[in-house]
Amino acid sequence: MTLLSRIFRSESLLYVLWANELIRLIWAPQALQAASGWLMIAYAALSLRHVRSGTLILCLPLASIAAILATLFNQWSRVLAGFENAAVFMAFFGSIVLLRALADRRREISTARSLFDGLRPDQTNGAFLVGAHLIGSILVVGVMAILAPILKNDADDTVRRRAAEASQRGMCLAPLWSPFWVASAFATQQIPNVPAWEIMALGLCMAAIGLVTSHAIYARGVGFPDLWNALKGFAPILPAVALCALMIAALSGLAGLGTLKALIATVPILALLT
């Protein structure tokens, strides 16, 4: 019974989903696509006991409405297709876990951590705001797996929460201009008569305003010299981030993969290389 309970867990199913999506990047028969949908349904069912009550209150009515509409219009196949399409996000989470594990053991991360150790908390938050924006413009939410290990191992929950909030503010401004984000790519496709560089330029200006405003509100005591010194702490990880960015861009361009799928494929390759 104990063995079965270990096997039939949402965490174990996540690995299966991840492996299934990695295979589908190379070879995508209909059977694997259908399997991804049913695996997602099983994963959602097994995860219900871990979901907070507030999330259940939000999701259950939406699921009920979807079930009613699917029944009325005989569109259950569309529901299954939605689960199949959502499987890529589970694979992304698997790659993020692997990316975090890789970051934890990299010497560059240890060096960056030592550089950040001597900084004030507001300096660290200011650097994380800008760093999360720049790195997140390429690695999308994968930037969190890169920045998290840079904090001191004995950092308390308050320090980690504030650093996470600063990182989230910086990262969430990246979709305004970065073509690596689905939102930016979608906007470019929807308005083909507008050159992409104009969209990126306008978005970059808006992101800059957001960064300056956020810094003024949350880290106003950090001047430019202090911020620049803090940003130097990212220097050790820049080559690795640049390599990852080049691999993502190459996979996107040569294999025709979207940014999300390219990132899913890149992380295991990095794990093999390192």
Distance CA 63, CA 79 (A): 10
pLDDT greater than 90 at residue 182? no
Q: Nearest to residue 219, comparing CAs of 151, 120, 126?
A: 126
Distance CA 4, CA 32 (A): 24
Q: Which residue has the higher pLDDT, 183 or 84?
A: 84
Q: Nearest to residue 142, comparing CAs of 212, 89, 87?
A: 89
Per residue in 3-19, pLDDT tens?
Answer: 445 556 777 888 888 89
Distance CA 264, CA 274 (A): 16
For the chain, give the mean pLDDT: 87
The pLDDT, as a whole number, for residue 51 is 85
The region of weakest confidence among 55-69, 154-168, 191-205, 214-228 is: 191-205
Q: Give SS3 for 41.
A: helix
Sign of CA dihedral 15, 21, 26, 31: positive
Cα dihedral 33/190/197/174 (nearest 10): -60
| Residues composing the chain | 274
pLDDT greater than 90 at residue 162? yes
Distance CA 68, CA 65 (A): 5
Distance CA 247, CA 245 (A): 5
Per residue in 193-229, pLDDT tens?
Answer: 878 788 889 999 999 999 999 999 998 889 999 999 9
Per residue in 264-274, pLDDT tens?
Answer: 888 888 888 76
Could you give the percent of the chain with pLDDT greater than 90? 40
Q: Where are the domains of the chain?
A: 2-87, 106-273
The region of weakest confidence among 55-64, 94-103, 209-218, 226-235 is: 94-103
The pLDDT, as a whole number, for residue 257 is 79
Could you give the percent of the chain with pLDDT greater than 70? 95
Question: What is the CA angle 28-18-175, rounded to 5?
Answer: 95
The pLDDT, as a whole number, for residue 270 is 83
**Residues 120-140: what's their mean pLDDT?**
91
- Token look-up 């059977």 returns 31
Band of the pLDDT at 64, cuts 50, 70, 90? very high
The pLDDT, as a whole number, for residue 38 is 93
The pLDDT, as a whole number, for residue 266 is 87
**Residues 161-188: what's their mean pLDDT?**
87
**Residues 142-157: what's their mean pLDDT?**
86
Greatest distance between any 2 Cα atoms in the chain:
63
The pLDDT, as a whole number, for residue 212 is 95
Question: What is the CA angle 244-253-168, rounded to 5?
Answer: 45
Q: Nearest to residue 207, comparing CAs of 217, 219, 215?
A: 215
Helix residue ranges per DSSP H, the chain: 2-7, 10-26, 30-47, 53-72, 76-105, 107-117, 121-139, 143-147, 157-171, 182-190, 196-218, 224-231, 238-254, 259-273
The pLDDT, as a whole number, for residue 1 is 43
